[in-house]
């Protein structure tokens, strides 16, 4: 099944966000943007993360640097949770 | 159905200004937001309570109604009817640009019975930001036994009234999450459907402990086999195996059976090892003759 990419404009309209917000997310490597014929697209799989960053930025007033830090910490939390489950299983 | 003190939930005074409420809400939201507390059901529940409190207290109309009726909320319906008769329009928007959160938390829209009885199903009416494009992601937990997890098998889940048939590959780990693309809620305004995330909870097995792809089991051994050597029959995941026990095997000795452990996830014909630990059982209720022989053994030792 072919995946339909979503234009960044569509995301800006649907989520009521500024294009510069998406550009900044890409700059911080928080989401990945695909460019085809000068048009920017977001893969549907990235929408989950995009929505997360919209909540963090617009609802919680967290800036890009803060979201980058949160992203790293959440990865660590996830790794530690996985390790905890494994360790519990061994006990 | 109990009365909920929304002021207490947000930790503000009844005289708190709209700004105080916004500040208190944001502070708590930063702490309990589901995106910042993955897999934490308690935080998620607390966040819903905070959200609900904010939904009421940040909306002047709702707050007024709540303040007016408070603990006598049962009369709220009569209040509504009376207002409607007076041509009350109701449902003014949230004065804040940032409404409550919405979107991808699955049960995010769950308001308490108290809220519903007082305000109807109007939760979210005041949400400022449109985060409805991609459909809602659903989360489900699937409980399976360790033995089920060792074989590729099929499962049928019922998610929101729909049956979803999935194939669970052998070797799935406890806590592992499988994403089923597009099996969540429908998208809005042409947005893609949400996804279904299935978390596997694998129950402990009485015989085996799993450590990655390796399995560990304890096997009892009688004293005589341990000392003189012999054979012992064990039940592995894939069937019975006869093990040779070396003479003078010590208690706690572990032997490794290569490839008799847990199947490796998505790698055909690959399995971890089975670690067999011997637990030596000492004889009890000895007869006089046996005791005599043990005494002879002790004397020989000296």
- What integer pLDDT is reported at residue B74 of this predicted model? 61
pLDDT above 50: residue B103: no
Which of B84 and B14 is assigned the larger pLDDT? B14
Taking only the tens place, the pLDDT of each residue in B162-215 is 888 999 999 999 989 999 999 998 998 888 999 999 999 999 999 999 999 999
Domains of chain B and any CATH numbers:
6-119 (1.10.287.110), 138-202 (2.60.260.20), 209-301 (2.60.260.20)
Average pLDDT, chain B: 84
- What integer pLDDT is reported at residue B101 of this predicted model? 36
- What integer pLDDT is reported at residue A65 of this predicted model? 97
B-chain residues near A51 (CB < 8 A)? 103-104, 131, 134
DSSP string, B9-50: HHT--TT--HHHHHHHHHHHHHHH-GGGSTT-HHHHHHHHHH
- What integer pLDDT is reported at residue B236 of this predicted model? 94
- What integer pLDDT is reported at residue A4 of this predicted model? 85
Strand partners, B233: B242
**Closest in A59, A81, A86 to B101, CB measured:** A59
- What integer pLDDT is reported at residue B35 of this predicted model? 87
Among B92-106, B128-142, B255-269, whose mean pLDDT is lowest? B92-106
**Whole-number Å distance between alpha carbons of B105 and B282:** 57
- What integer pLDDT is reported at residue B273 of this predicted model? 97
Predicted confidence band of residue B125 (pLDDT cuts 50, 70, 90): very low
Among B11-15, B126-130, B147-151, B234-238, whose mean pLDDT is lowest? B126-130
In contact, B294 and B286? CB cutoff 8 Å = yes
Q: Are strands B214-222 and B274-281 parallel, antiparallel or unpaired?
A: parallel
Which of B211 and B111 is assigned the larger pLDDT? B211
Q: What is the mean pLDDT of residues B140-147?
A: 93
With a CB-CB cutoff of 8 Å, which residues 213-242 of chain B face chain A?
none
Residues 6+ apart with CB under 8 A from B73: B3, B114, B117, B118
Taking CB atoms and an 8 Å limit, are A48 and B137 in contact across chains? yes
- What integer pLDDT is reported at residue A50 of this predicted model? 95
Q: What is the ipTM of this complex?
A: 0.79
pLDDT above 80: residue B75: no
Burial of B120 (0-12, 13-18, 19+ CB in 10 A): middle
**Whole-number Å distance between alpha carbons of B262 and B297:** 43
**Whole-number Å distance between alpha carbons of B274 and B277:** 10
Instruction: Give residue A1's Cα distance to chain centre.
Output: 23
Phi, then psi, of B246 in degrees rounded to 5:
-70, 145
pLDDT above 80: residue B82: no
A-chain residues near B211 (CB < 8 A)? 86, 89-90
Which of B191 and B219 is assigned the larger pLDDT? B219
Taking only the tens place, the pLDDT of each residue in A23-81 is 999 999 999 999 999 999 999 999 999 999 999 999 888 999 999 999 999 999 989 98
pLDDT above 50: residue B88: no
Domains of chain A and any CATH numbers:
6-90 (1.10.1660)
Q: What is the mean pLDDT of residues B220-231?
A: 96
- What integer pLDDT is reported at residue B92 of this predicted model? 34
- What integer pLDDT is reported at residue B171 of this predicted model? 96
Which of B161 and A63 is assigned the larger pLDDT? A63
Interface residue of A30, A46, A55 to substitute, partner B, most B CBs within 10 Å: A55
B-chain residues near A77 (CB < 8 A)? 38
Instruction: Give residue B182's Cα distance to chain centre.
Output: 21
**Whole-number Å distance between alpha carbons of B171 and B169:** 6
């Amino acid at each position: 099944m072919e995946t339909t990419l979503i234009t960044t404009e569509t995301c800006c309209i649907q989520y009521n966000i500024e294009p510069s917000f998406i550009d900044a997310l890409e700059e911080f490597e928080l989401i990945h943007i695909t460019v085809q014929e000068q048009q920017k697209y977001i893969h549907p799989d990235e929408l989950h993360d995009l929505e997360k960053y919209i909540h963090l930025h617009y609802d919680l007033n967290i800036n890009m640097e803060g979201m980058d830090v949160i992203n790293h910490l959440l990865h660590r939390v996830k790794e530690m949770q996985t390790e905890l489950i494994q360790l519990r299983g061994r006990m | 159905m109990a009365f909920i003190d929304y002021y207490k939930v947000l930790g503000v005074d009844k005289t708190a200004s709209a700004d105080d409420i916004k500040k208190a809400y944001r502070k708590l939201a930063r702490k309990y937001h589901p995106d910042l507390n993955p897999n934490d059901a308690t935080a998620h529940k607390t966040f819903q309570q905070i959200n609900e409190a904010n939904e009421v207290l940040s909306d002047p109309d709702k707050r007024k109604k709540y303040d007016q009726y408070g603990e006598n909320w049962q009369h709220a319906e009569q209040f509504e009817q009376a207002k409607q008769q007076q041509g009350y329009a109701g449902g003014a928007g949230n004065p804040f640009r940032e409404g409550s959160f919405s979107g991808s938390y699955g049960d995010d829209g769950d308001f308490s019975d108290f809220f519903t009885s007082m305000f109807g199903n109007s939760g979210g009416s005041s949400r400022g930001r449109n985060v409805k494009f991609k459909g809602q992601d659903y989360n489900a937990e699937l409980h399976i036994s360790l033995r089920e997890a060792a074989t590729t098998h099929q499962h049928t889940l019922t998610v929101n009234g729909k049956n979803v048939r999935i194939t669970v590959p052998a070797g799935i780990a406890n806590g592992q999450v499988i994403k089923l693309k597009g099996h969540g809620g429908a998208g809005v305004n042409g947005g893609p459907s949400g996804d279904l995330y299935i978390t596997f909870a694998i129950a402990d097995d009485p015989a085996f402990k799993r450590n990655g792809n390796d399995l560990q089991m304890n096997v009892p051994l009688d004293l005589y086999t341990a000392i003189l050597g012999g054979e012992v029959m064990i039940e592995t995941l894939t069937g019975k195996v006869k093990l040779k026990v070396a003479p003078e095997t010590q208690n706690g000795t572990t032997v490794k059976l290569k490839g008799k452990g847990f199947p490796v996830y998505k790698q055909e014909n690959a399995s971890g090892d089975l670690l067999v630990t011997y637990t030596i059982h000492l004889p009890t209720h000895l007869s006089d003759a046996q005791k005599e022989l043990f005494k002879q053994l002790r004397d020989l030792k000296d």
